[in-house]
Amino acid sequence: MKTINNITKVLFVCIFSMSSLVLATEWYEEGTLGVEGGWVNVNDSGISPAHYGQFQNTGSVTSVLLDGDTVVGDEGDFVGAFSDTELRGIAFPTQIPVPTSPYFGENAFMVYMYSNDSGTETYTFKFYDSSSGLTYDLPESVVFVADMTEGTLMSPYAFTVTLDAAGPCDDDDADGVCDDEIKLVREEYDFS
């Protein structure tokens, strides 16, 4: 009887523990303040990584996202800044309100980034396209420096992406990220 009670207690603890687990959040989804993963509203005009309070330095990149000469980015889309795989900055598109800007009326991504270092981390960027549900790795990167400002509304930093007109992209490994899988090609020859 004592063994059955102990087994029951262990099962209860396992079930209770599993019910309190926090499910992982994708970087482009709303998260929980203080918990790594996803983003949170910081004020009425911006969002930040959910764990932004763990960092002492900030910097920004005011950018446009170009597919060729076309500015892309619609409601529900995001640009994220990453140190390795950790989300360190995120922005949704905001319409450029400056009439004298060459991008007046277009959408910009004003990415506010966070770090505890300065001049030693290279940040890479990703674009989440909500219309396709896919994430694109962007080819540009920046070295984070405390208090940095890259780009302005008059002269934004240009990120580039190639959206496939025939379809969103190749996603052979079905992980929601375009063109991230290295494909090995094995050619077979007939020497007979």
Q: What is the dihedral of CA 103, 109, 112, 117, to 10 degrees?
A: -90
**Which residue type is seen at 140?**
E
Give residue 43's pLDDT: 79
Span 81-104, pLDDT tens digits: 999 999 999 999 999 999 999 999
Instruction: Quote the pTM value.
Output: 0.73
* Rg of the chain (C-alpha set): 22
Span 23-51, pLDDT tens digits: 446 888 888 887 888 888 887 768 889 88
**Cα(90)–Cα(27) distance, integer angstroms:** 9
Specify the fold of 2-165. Answer: Immunoglobulin-like (2.60.40)
Residue 177, C-beta contacts closer than 8 angstroms, at least 6 positions apart: 126, 134, 135, 136, 137, 171
